[in-house]
C-alpha cells in the first residue's frame, strides 16, 4: 500500500487493521457492513433522548415531556453550525485517507479536534446566557418554560463532552472505522438509563435529573473513547499539548463544511419556527410532537447513517480517483436503505399506539401522537432517498447546492405549508407539511445529481475519470 509523503511499517499496519478501505470490493457489501456498526451506535446514542423522554413523561408529567421537546430544537439551533464544520472536516479526512496522504491526514485530525473544543466552550457560554430569551421568543407555554430552561442549561454545560465524542466518532468514520466507539456508546446508554431512574425516581430531581444523567453519560463515552485511542492507536494519540492547527486544512474544511453548517443552522431555526406554530396548540400537542419525534428519530436513523456511510465511500473513492464506483455505490445504498425505510414505516404505523404509551398515559397526547406517526411515518422512503442522494453530493465535497435544496424544502415548502394548513385543518396540517417538504427535497436532489456538476468538487483534485449518470 502506498502512502503519500509519510510511510512507516506501523502506519501501514494501522491502516490495514484499524481502518476500513472502501476503495476496493463489492460496493453494496462494503457500505452495508460499514453502516451497520455506525447505525447500532447511533441507535444507542438516540436512546439518550428516548429514555429521557420516557422517564420524564411517565414519572414527572406531560409538561416536563413537552419541556424536553421544546428544548431540543433550541439546543440543535445553538450547536448546528459547529456540527456542519465538523462534517466538512470528516469529508476532508476521508479524501486524504483515500489518497493515503498521511501527513495531511494527521494535520486534519488535529485541526478538527482543536476547532471542536474551542467552539464548544464558546457555544456553551452563549447558549446558557440566552436560553430563556430564546424559549420565550418561540412562544413556549408558561407551564413548561421553567423546566425547559433548566434542561437546556444543564445540557449545554456538558456540551464539550458531546462534541468531543461526536468529533472522535466522525474522524474515525472519515478514516473508515465505524466500530470503535460502538461498545463505549452501548455502555454509556445503559449508564444513562440507570442514572435517569436514579436521579428522577429515587432522588426526585425531575427534569434536571434527566439532563444531568445525559451529561454524565456523554462525558463517560468521551473519556472512554479517548482512553481507547491513547491505548491502542498510537498514530492518532489524543494529546492536546502536541496538536497542531493547520489553517489551510481548516479553510478547506470550512469551504466544504460551511454550507452544511449554514444548512444545519437554518434547519434548526426552521425546526424552532415549526415548534412555534406547534406551541400555539398547547402542551398536549407539544408533548405528542416530542414523543412521536423520539420514535421517528429512531425510525429515520438508517437513512441518515446510510447517507453518512455513502459520503465516506464517495470521499474515499474520489480521493483514490475511482469515480466509476460512485454510481454503483449509490444504487446499492438506495436499494438497501429503501427496504429498511419501508420496514420502518410498517413497524411504526402498526405499533403506533403501544409506542406512544411508552411515553405517557394521557389519551389526548396519545391521540395527537398517533396522528403524527400515521401521516409522517408513511413517507420515510422519500426522506431516505433525499438523504442518500445528499450523501453522494457531500462525499464529493459539493455542499452548497444541497444546502439550498434543504433550505428551500424547509423554508419555502414545509413551514409555509404548516402555517397555512394548520389554519385550515388544525394540527394535522402541521403533520402533513413534513412529508411535503421531504418530497420536494427528494425531487430537487435527484435533479441536481443528474446534472453531474458535483463530480468536480474533490479536495484532492483527481477528476480525470467520469461517471455515467
Neighbours of 164 (CB within 10 A): 22
**Region 351-377: what's the mean pLDDT?**
97
Spatial CA neighbour of 64 closest among 153, 145, 159, 155: 145
CA atoms within 13 A on the CB side of 238: 21
219 or 231: which leads in pLDDT: 219
For the full predicted model, state whether its pTM sits above 0.85. Answer: no
* DSSP state for residue 4 in the 8-state scheme: B
Domain-located, residue 358: yes
- The predicted-structure confidence for 32-66, as pLDDT tens digits, reads as follows 988 887 788 778 878 777 888 999 999 999 999 99
User: Would you state the cell numbers that stand for residue 403, as one nine-digit string?
Assistant: 444546502
Phi, psi of 101 (to 5 degrees): -95, 95
Phi, psi of 206 (to 5 degrees): 65, -145
Exposure string of 395-404, with b = 16+ CB inside 10 Å and e = fewer, is bbbbbbbbbe
Nearest-angstrom CA–CA distance, 410 and 80: 16
Q: Quote the mean pLDDT of the chain.
A: 85
292 or 11: which leads in pLDDT: 292
pLDDT at 353 over 90: yes
Q: Are 307 and 391 in contact (CB under 8 A)?
A: yes
Q: Which residues contact 362 (CB under 8 A, 6 or more apart)?
A: 62, 284, 287
Residue-level pLDDT at 186: 82
Nearest-angstrom CA–CA distance, 86 and 51: 27
Domain-located, residue 464: no
At 5 the three-state DSSP class reads: coil
Q: Which residues contact 331 (CB under 8 A, 6 or more apart)?
A: none
Domain-located, residue 167: yes
Predicted confidence band of residue 12 (pLDDT cuts 50, 70, 90): very low
Phi, psi of 25 (to 5 degrees): 110, 175
Residue-level pLDDT at 232: 67
Domain-located, residue 17: no
Domain-located, residue 25: no
Predicted confidence band of residue 403 (pLDDT cuts 50, 70, 90): confident
Share of the chain above pLDDT 70, in %: 88
Domain-located, residue 182: yes
- The predicted-structure confidence for 65-113, as pLDDT tens digits, reads as follows 999 988 888 888 778 777 777 777 777 877 787 777 877 877 888 888 8
The number of domains in the chain is 1
| Dihedral sign, Cα of residue 198, residue 200, residue 203, residue 205 | positive
Q: For 162-176, 246-260, 290-304, which range has the lowest pLDDT when averaged over its residues?
A: 162-176
Q: What is the dihedral of CA 340, 338, 349, 300, to 10 degrees?
A: 70
* DSSP state for residue 25 in the 8-state scheme: S
Neighbours of 56 (CB within 10 A): 30
Share of the chain above pLDDT 90, in %: 46
- The predicted-structure confidence for 105-136, as pLDDT tens digits, reads as follows 778 888 888 888 898 999 899 989 998 898 89
Residues spanned by the domain of 323: 32-456
**Region 391-396: what's the mean pLDDT?**
88
Domain-located, residue 317: yes
Domain-located, residue 102: yes
Residue-level pLDDT at 6: 36
Q: For 7-11, 99-103, 426-430, 448-452, which range has the lowest pLDDT when averaged over its residues?
A: 7-11
Amino acid at each position: 500500500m502506498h502512502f503519500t509523503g509519510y510511510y512507516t511499517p506501523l502506519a501501514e499496519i494501522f491502516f490495514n487493521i484499524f481502518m476500513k478501505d472502501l476503495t476496493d470490493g463489492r460496493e453494496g457489501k462494503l457500505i452495508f457492513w460499514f453502516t451497520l456498526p455506525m447505525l447500532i451506535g447511533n441507535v444507542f446514542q438516540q436512546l439518550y433522548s428516548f429514555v429521557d423522554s420516557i422517564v420524564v413523561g411517565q414519572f414527572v408529567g406531560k409538561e416536563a415531556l413537552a419541556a424536553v421537546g421544546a428544548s431540543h430544537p433550541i439546543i440543535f439551533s445553538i450547536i448546528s453550525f459547529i456540527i456542519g464544520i465538523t462534517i466538512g472536516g470528516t469529508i476532508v479526512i476521508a479524501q486524504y485517507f483515500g489518497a493515503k496522504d498521511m501527513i495531511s491526514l494527521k494535520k486534519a485530525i488535529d485541526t478538527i479536534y482543536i476547532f471542536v473544543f474551542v467552539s464548544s466552550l464558546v457555544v456553551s457560554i452563549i447558549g446558557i446566557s440566552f436560553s430563556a430569551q430564546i424559549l420565550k421568543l418561540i412562544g413556549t407555554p408558561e407551564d413548561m418554560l421553567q423546566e425547559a430552561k433548566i434542561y437546556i442549561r444543564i445540557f449545554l454545560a456538558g456540551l464539550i463532552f458531546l462534541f468531543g465524542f461526536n468529533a472522535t466518532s466522525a474522524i474515525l468514520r472519515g478514516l473508515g472505522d465505524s466500530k470503535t466507539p460502538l461498545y463505549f456508546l452501548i455502555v454509556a446508554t445503559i449508564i444513562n438509563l440507570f442514572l435517569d431512574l436514579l436521579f428522577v425516581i429515587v432522588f426526585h430531581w425531575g427534569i434536571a435529573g434527566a439532563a444531568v444523567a445525559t451529561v454524565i453519560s456523554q462525558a463517560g463515552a468521551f473519556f472512554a473513547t479517548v482512553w481507547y485511542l491513547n491505548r491502542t492507536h498510537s498514530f492518532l494519540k489524543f494529546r492536546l499539548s502536541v496538536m497542531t492547527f493547520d489553517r489551510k486544512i481548516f479553510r478547506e474544511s470550512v469551504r466544504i463544511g460551511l454550507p452544511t453548517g449554514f444548512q444545519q443552522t437554518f434547519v434548526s431555526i426552521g425546526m424552532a419556527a415549526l415548534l412555534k406554530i406547534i406551541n400555539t396548540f398547547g402542551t398536549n400537542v407539544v408533548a405528542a410532537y416530542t414523543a412521536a419525534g423520539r420514535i421517528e428519530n429512531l425510525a429515520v436513523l438508517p437513512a441518515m447513517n446510510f447517507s453518512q456511510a455513502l459520503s465516506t465511500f464517495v470521499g474515499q473513492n474520489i480521493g483514490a480517483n475511482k469515480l466509476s464506483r460512485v454510481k454503483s455505490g449509490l444504487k446499492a445504498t438506495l436499494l438497501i436503505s429503501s427496504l429498511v425505510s419501508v420496514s420502518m414505516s410498517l413497524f411504526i404505523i402498526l405499533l403506533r399506539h403501544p409506542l406512544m404509551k411508552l411515553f405517557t398515559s394521557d389519551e389526548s397526547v396519545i391521540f395527537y401522537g398517533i396522528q403524527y406517526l400515521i401521516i409522517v411515518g408513511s413517507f420515510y422512503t422519500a426522506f431516505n432517498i433525499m438523504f442518500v442522494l445528499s450523501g453522494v453530493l457531500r462525499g464529493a465535497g459539493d455542499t452548497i447546492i444541497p444546502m439550498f435544496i434543504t433550505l428551500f424544502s424547509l423554508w419555502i415548502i414545509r413551514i409555509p405549508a404548516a402555517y397555512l394548513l394548520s389554519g385550515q385543518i388544525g394540527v394535522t396540517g402541521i403533520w402533513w407539511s413534513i412529508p411535503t417538504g421531504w418530497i420536494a427535497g427528494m425531487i430537487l436532489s435527484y435533479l441536481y445529481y443528474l446534472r453531474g456538476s458535483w463530480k468536480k468538487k474533490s479536495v484532492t483534485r483527481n477528476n480525470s475519470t467520469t461517471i455515467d449518470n
